[in-house]
Amino acid sequence: MKHKTISDIAREAGVSKATVSRVLTHPELVKPATQERVKRVMEKHEYVPNHIAQSLAGNPTKMIGVVIDELSNFFFIEVAEGIGNILSPLGYSMLLVSSRWIEEEETRLVKSLISSQVDGVLLAPVAKESRALQLLKASQTPCVIINQIPSDTSLSFVAGDDLEGGRIAAALVNEQEAEQVIVITGFAHQSVEDRVAGFKEVLDSRFLYKRYRFVETQADGAALVTTLIRTEELEQKKTILFVTNDNVAIGIVNELVEQGISIPEQVMVIGYDNIRATSFCRIPLTTVSQSTIHIGEQAAKTLLQLINKERTEALHNLIQPVLIRRHSL
Amino acid sequence: MKHKTISDIAREAGVSKATVSRVLTHPELVKPATQERVKRVMEKHEYVPNHIAQSLAGNPTKMIGVVIDELSNFFFIEVAEGIGNILSPLGYSMLLVSSRWIEEEETRLVKSLISSQVDGVLLAPVAKESRALQLLKASQTPCVIINQIPSDTSLSFVAGDDLEGGRIAAALVNEQEAEQVIVITGFAHQSVEDRVAGFKEVLDSRFLYKRYRFVETQADGAALVTTLIRTEELEQKKTILFVTNDNVAIGIVNELVEQGISIPEQVMVIGYDNIRATSFCRIPLTTVSQSTIHIGEQAAKTLLQLINKERTEALHNLIQPVLIRRHSL
DNA sequence: CTGTTAGCGCCTTCAC
DNA sequence: GTGAAGGCGCTAACAG
């Protein structure tokens, strides 16, 4: 037989299932002597109660669903790490899944999480209005949104102030001398558009400005460098690159160095996120920090409050970005 | 009321629970007309079947437990990524948990996973003989071990050949001129000991050899540099550093550069793992590669075979390491 | 203090 | 093709 059940233990210890259940969850209600006896039997068989059954019977699952957009992206990994920091010590496990930036996938995953009766979910949505959010609401699953400001104000979120972050980047650019400014963005996402909007708002009009889209990975970034050298004459014109996420920026910087272009003398680069790798990459990156791990921790804490009903109104946490100057600009 | 149940749907569609259940799992057994009717009701209420209940009733949970030692370690993150690559498309979710190198924690987590009735677990054990492995065996949960060779040969594992990796590193060192060789290791772990053993076995006797232990994080690595400069006279003696994991090596290299020590002219560094960051860090790292993502993928695939009973005997996969030469040596 | 009795939501025989 | 009944493992009243 596969698993010993509560009945097996009960029979062998000569008590009822209820008593066994009690030593599991309310030991104080059981006489020490019998408690001892039951425990001995449990240990003898290495009995582990069936969590699934416990949950069906009404207990919380102690599982939190975490939906990120991309597993191989340091930004999300660090967010997940922050989440783990908070959740793990409290006995929660996280069901970590990736939507791979696909909205249907996100919906499917959220359905599956709801179906798994997770106690709450942390979601980094692919798009602004998502079916996933409706489902979450309909199922009354506590949740907090990460890295996006949902239009439904009843929802909690923890996100960076992307508009402001863009402005900060532009302000720094305005202090420089350069012949052109190029903005490089990846997946179309609200946060990215806001960063660009803030950037344009403040950017000095004396700069030639151009944008490259759909540069989504480190590899994409590296590949883009060759193109830029040709089409934008990187080697002739002093250039500033604003890359809206560090993950890609790192790929770009590395390739620039490989191609022998000097940073920041010939090309300056400013990134966004301040993931950990920016401090030890080829040329330590100047970037707009949104304290990635902190986002995860904050979101997890809020979710916990929601779950424990210590909080009823939504938390709208717009984290203020900060400029981190390193060597790339 | 919180969730609609199968009974609600049944009632509203004017059929029995059994029929609704069939629509869910064996649609071909239901007349198209009624099927249509039931489906309409389900959609109307955004009905999502309770996965917990389905599992209790005997279905697989489609959840895989993944136990790693450390969340903020690129090596494990990449392994997890490899696992996700394989599992996600097949509709599995992963329950990702970190033991933080603590054995009791590992045991607790594995218990919890078993208790959650995961279909299988992927485990990177903290120590050689672990209680967690016993439990896994006792519960007959399919599992494959990562990054360790269990003494119980009935267990499947995917691990790098650490002894050989150490030899490879030493062979490279032997080709160099240097006044001293320093080995830097982190958490006491079998794999690390093997790497060091292989290294010592092949290392030329002309080298002065010394070992620093318990250097466990990037920050530890950075901090160590100051010490080394003082006690080992890094600036006077040409030195080779063998760091048994890239995560730490990256921290060390970065700090060496910050301190103005030239790599590889004054200090040479060789790492281990070939995590992705080694290619874009301060000085791209020469390292012993064990194809991290591949380990995860391989382990996940094997686990799936075990779960589906396509494989009965254990898989012993000792991955051969390869030297990757970059700029640090 | 401990046993008995109902479910939790779903799936699976077994009849009709 | 479809319904009724029992059970998965556990918890929560309700009695004694």
Beta strands in A169-256 (DSSP E): 180-184, 208-212, 239-243
The answer to whether residue B51 scores a pLDDT higher than 70 is yes
Mapped onto helix, strand or coil, the DSSP state of residue A77 is helix
Chain A residues near residue B112 by CB distance under 8 angstroms: 51, 93
Q: Residue A17's closest CA among A50, A55, A60?
A: A50
Q: What is the DSSP letter of A29?
A: G
H helices within B59-158, ranges in order? 74-87, 103-115, 131-138
A225 touches strand C (CB under 7 A): no
pLDDT values of chain A reduced to their tens digit, one per residue, 329 residues: 567 899 999 999 999 999 999 999 999 999 999 999 999 999 999 899 999 999 999 899 999 999 999 888 889 989 999 999 999 889 899 999 999 899 999 999 999 999 999 999 999 999 988 899 999 998 889 999 999 999 999 999 999 999 999 999 999 999 999 999 999 999 889 999 999 999 999 999 999 899 999 999 999 999 999 999 999 999 999 999 999 999 999 999 999 999 999 999 999 999 999 999 999 999 999 999 998 999 999 999 999 999 999 999 999 999 999 999 999 99
* CB contact set of A55 (below 8 Å; sequence gap of 6+): A61, A117, B52
Residue type, B147: N
The two structure tokens encoding residue B264: 């590889």
A5 touches strand D (CB under 7 A): yes
Q: How far is residue B55 CA from its own chain's centroid?
A: 27
B72 touches strand D (CB under 7 A): no
Mapped onto helix, strand or coil, the DSSP state of residue A313 is coil
The pLDDT assigned to B208 comes to 87
> What average pLDDT does this structure show over B55-64?
94
Contact A281 B279 (CB under 8 A): no
Distance CA A87, CA B25 (A): 34
Contact A281 B281 (CB under 8 A): yes
Which member of B81, B139, B282 has the closest CB to residue A48? B139
Full set of structural domains in chain B with CATH: 6-47 (1.10.260.40), 56-159+292-320 (3.40.50.2300), 162-289 (3.40.50.2300)
Among chain A residues, the shortest Cα distance to B255 is held by: A280
Contact B52 A50 (CB under 8 A): no
Q: Which of B73, B77, B116, B140 to mutate to test the interface with A (most CBs of A within 10 A)?
A: B116
Does the pTM surpass 0.75? The reply is: yes
Q: What is the DSSP letter of B236?
A: T
Contact B281 A280 (CB under 8 A): yes
Which member of A51, A93, A114 has the closest CB to residue B48? A114
B276 touches strand C (CB under 7 A): no
Chain A 42-101 residues whose Cβ is under 7 Å from strand D:
49-50, 53-54, 56-59
H helices within chain A, ranges in order? 6-13, 17-25, 32-44, 51-56, 74-87, 103-115, 131-138, 162-174, 190-202, 218-231, 246-258, 292-307
The pLDDT assigned to A2 comes to 65
> What average pLDDT does this structure show over B61-68?
95
CB-neighbour burial class of residue B21 (10 A; exposed 0-12, middle 13-18, buried 19+): middle
Which member of A53, A77, A117 has the closest CB to residue B51? A117
B22 touches strand C (CB under 7 A): yes
